[in-house]
Amino acid sequence: MQIQDFTPPLAHTADRHHLYERAVQSPRAEVDFIDQTYRKLRGRSARWLREDFCGTAAVGCEWVRRRPTNRAVGVDRDPEVLDWAQRNNLATLSADQRARIQLLEQDVATPASRPLDLVLALNFSYWLLTDRAALRAYFAQVRTALAPDGAFLLDAYGAMTPTASSSRSGRWRTRSLGASAMSGSRHCTTR
């Protein structure tokens, strides 16, 4: 029997992080939405943003590109993806932009060290917290991390329509992208 030359499938040569970004992320559009939503909710521009479950930190990088006053922290517990983020995304930033973003290798449940304007948990990442206690602890940690007029933005399934009561209270703002912004006022982040 003759052994044929083996040509590895194209997928073997692909970079999974690069493919992930191309498949499900659009950092410019995401930052447009984040920036506009915060301004609409709070009447000012956000400055300090934390990207939880940041993976390749694509959104955090776009955030520091957007304005010279913007600062970002990316949190992920996987050192491999953070290393990829450093080499492929942070490496494309200017020295000034790079000085305004920090990547932390830690669990999202770890308490934050400073008040944040925005916390993000995008692309349904918080669904990785599969039991009620872990999810509740995470939401409580976010609530503590937010500045008094901070906001927590996370994806909900599909394009949510606000219920009558939520519209009346103004606690939930939604948009057709399927992203929802949960008000960061201290009294309602965990509700």
Ligand X SMILES: C[S@@+](CC[C@H](N)C(=O)[O-])C[C@H]1O[C@@H](n2cnc3c(N)ncnc32)[C@H](O)[C@@H]1O
Enumerate binding residues for ligand X (CB under 6 A): 24-25, 53-55, 75-78, 81, 107-108, 122-123, 125, 128
Comparing C-alpha atoms, which of 77, 79, 51 is closest to residue 63?
51
- Smaller CB distance to ligand X: residue 44 or 159? 159
The alpha carbon dihedral of 185, 54, 133, 177 has a sign of positive
C-beta of 152: minimal distance to ligand X in Å?
Answer: 14
Closest CA to 67 of 101, 41, 37, 92: 101
Shortest distance, CB of residue 30 to ligand X, whole angstroms? 8
- For the chain, where are the alpha helices, taking DSSP H only? 10-13, 16-24, 27-42, 58-66, 79-88, 95-98, 132-145, 164-169
Residue with tokens 């992208």, as numbered in its chain: 177
| Minimum CB distance to ligand X, residue 5 (Å) | 36
Residue type, 27: P
Closer residue to ligand X in complex, CB, 56/189: 56
Smallest distance, Å, CB 126 to ligand X? 9
Query: Which residue's CB comes closest to ligand X?
Result: 55
Measured from the CB atom, the residue of 80 and 96 that comes closer to ligand X is 80
Residue 181: partners with Cβ closer than 8 Å, 6 or more residues away? 37, 38, 41, 151, 152, 153, 172, 173, 174
CB of residue 95 to ligand X, shortest distance in Å: 25
Nearer to ligand X, 46 or 82 (CB): 82
Q: Which residue type does 169 have?
A: S
Q: Closer to ligand X at the Cβ: 102 or 161?
A: 102
